[in-house]
Amino acid sequence: MLLENKIAIVTGGTRGIGLATVEAFLREGATVILTGSRQETADKAVAALKEKDPNAKVAGIAPNLADLASVEEAFQKVAQEYGRIDILVNNAGMSDSTPFDKYDEATFEKVMDLNVKGVFTCARAVTPIMQAQGSGVILNTSSMVSRYGQPSGIAYPTSKFAVNGFTLSLARELGKYGIRVNAVAPGITDTDMMRAVPEHIIKALCTQIPLGRIGKPEEVANAFVFLASEMASYITGVVLSVDGLART
């Protein structure tokens, strides 16, 4: 198992790519603490995972990811209970498709608070714990739109471009402590959000993808497993695209 005996926190782990990552980490032997927007949401996800596998080593927490003190308190409790935190996956985030002429400050701030500040608070809270251990892995969820942009919802690609810069910079700063920092940039993926998109639009999108289909959450989760594992022990400061696209 690639993550045997590792202690991992996965934010936004109750659905979509986050939940697939939790499941993949569990299969690879990790103990996983997932976060939800509310404790009841986290508890529901944990119950569903334990229904599938009663022996699953999983728990749920619900700190306010936009508040550093809340995150620090939650992560310290995890470290005290489990003895360490080996992996942090900053996956919690929200998208938006508001046209720019309809955009207001509140919408922009809401997206940035979760997608950027949430990454900062979680990384800031876990770093002292990993420094004391002398090792750790921080993984962030970026997006293909951080490279290509999107026609509406300006805060989302802006936030993911910020995640890329955060990832590269933090990798340079924390490498001396034995902490690796990388990101995964998913493309169009079969999540709840995509299931609301009409089939003809999805088919049109697939014609632009050399592999001819949209991605599966499990395929993105596999990238997180790889980067979290010792197989990626000499990889840091990378934004790994998982989008089915060909590049020169």
Could you give the residue numbers annotated as active site?
Answer: 156
Three-class SS of 32-70: EEEECCCHHHHHHHHHHHHHHCCCCCEEEECCCCCCHHH
Distance in angstroms (rounded) separating the CA atoms of residues 132 and 67? 23
d(CA 112, CA 101): 18
Sheet with 87-90: list strands edge to edge: 58-61, 31-35, 7-10, 87-90, 136-141, 179-186, 239-242
Alpha helices in 58-150 (DSSP H): 68-82, 105-112, 118-133, 145-148
Query: For residue 164, what is the enclosing H or E element?
Result: helix 155-174
Structure tokens at 202: 């999805």
Distance between CA atoms of 130 and 243, rounded to whole angstroms?
30
Can you tell me the distance from the alpha carbon of 211 to that of 215, in angstroms, rounded to the nearest whole number? Answer: 9
